Amino acid sequence: MGDINLFVINEKVTQLSPSSFQLERELQILIEKNMHTFFGVTFLQSEFSISNGRIDSLGIDENNCPVIFEYKRSKNENVINQGLFYLDWLMDHKANFEILTIKKLGMEVANKIDWSIPCVICIADDFTKFDEHAVNQMQKNIKLIKYKKFGEELILFEQINSPSVKPVIEVNDEQTIAKKASDKTFAEQLEGTSNELREIYYSIRDYILSLGDDVSENQLKLYTAFKKIRNIVCVEVRQKSILLFLRLNPDHYLEEQKEGLVRDVRTIGHWGTGDLEITLKSADDFERIKYLIDQCYNEN
């Protein structure tokens, strides 16, 4: 983040110098109050007590996966190992998280909790190269987010790693068994579709990931989400088509809707996030809508 220079443009151009919060608690409060805006995560509780410590902040993301936030308070603090310990604890105490979700958001949300890719978000004003290397070796969904504060009104977040992890599928989990009985997993859908559609999916995947180092792939049970800090594109695979859901305002793409390229799904239920649906049945269809994926990346 050292190469980012921010300027105020008035009659005289003034460069803003980055700073950090004097008290990390100030950063924690700011994020908890604006967690959904910053990261697409719904805040659940601050300082969540467990048997061997306290989780700084707990939330649930737009894919209904649990999210742990940990804030690095000093350069010597090993916040990554701490977050990993809390993640393991949470996976062993799912009922605690589910009860908290019921209390805060209700049973309907709790029933949608997806344990396939829980996440740890570590936030600090800086990380070392050893931190990033350690996270890459762990093969866990741990995200390192740098922040910089500019004056009293601006804050900048930068995700410095893009974890790619496989979903955790626990076949002995009753809820998982029930879901598998009624819904094929994303991996099963992909395996069961035609070779042509499977190749188109991999072309879509490679294209989205090539847009920038800030894009990561999260394969969940029923769909795949491609994320920057928040979801930008969600993908479902069907027997004869591939569905993309883009985080774009459908009102801006009325002409494309008339041409039958896309559909407004703001009031139509679907897995994942994104209000603009695209149905692909061929490689030519994919070529026609690449510009929409580009636009989605640029706007988010």
Quickly list H helices, 141-218: 174-182, 186-192, 195-210
- Structure confidence at residue 177 as a pLDDT band (50, 70, 90): very low
Q: Mean pLDDT across the stretch 25-31? A: 94
Give residue 52's pLDDT: 82
Report how far residue 285's alpha carbon sits from residue 272's, in angstroms, rounded to the nearest whole number.
21
Report how far residue 70's alpha carbon sits from residue 82's, in angstroms, rounded to the nearest whole number.
8
- For 231, other C-beta atoms within 10 Å of its C-beta total 22
Exposure string over 203-213, b if 16+ CB within 10 A, otherwise e:
ebbeebeebee
Share of the chain above pLDDT 90, in %: 60
pLDDT above 60 (res 181): no
Here the tokens at position 159 are 């995700």
Q: Reduced to 3 DSSP states, what percent helix, strand and coil does the chain have, rounded to the nearest 5?
A: 40, 30, 35
Give residue 76's pLDDT: 64
Amino acid 141 reads N
Lowest mean pLDDT among 28-32, 86-90, 139-143, 167-171: 167-171
Q: Mean pLDDT across the stretch 257-281? A: 93
- Structure confidence at residue 109 as a pLDDT band (50, 70, 90): very high
**How many residues comprise the chain?**
300
Report how far residue 92's alpha carbon sits from residue 124's, in angstroms, rounded to the nearest whole number.
27
Exposure of 294 in the CB half-sphere (CA atoms within 13 A): 6
35-63 per-position pLDDT tens digit: 999 999 999 999 999 988 899 999 999 99
Q: How many helices (H) and strands (E) does the chain have?
A: 11, 15
Q: Is 53 helix (H, G, I), strand (E, B) or coil?
A: strand
165 in Cβ contact with 217 (< 8 Å): no
114 in Cβ contact with 123 (< 8 Å): no
69 in Cβ contact with 56 (< 8 Å): yes
Report how far residue 107's alpha carbon sits from residue 23's, in angstroms, rounded to the nearest whole number.
36
Report how far residue 120's alpha carbon sits from residue 125's, in angstroms, rounded to the nearest whole number.
17
Here the tokens at position 188 are 């099963």
- For 134, other C-beta atoms within 10 Å of its C-beta total 17
240 in Cβ contact with 281 (< 8 Å): yes
At which residue do the structure tokens 């805040």 appear?
43
Q: Domains, the chain, ranges and CATH? A: 6-159 (3.40.1350.10), 181-299 (3.90.1150.200)
| Stronger pLDDT, 181 or 264, i.e. the higher one | 264
Q: Among candidates 72, 224, 43, which has minimal Cα distance to 144?
A: 72
Give residue 169's pLDDT: 60
207-238 per-position pLDDT tens digit: 999 998 889 888 888 899 999 889 999 999 99
pTM: 0.81
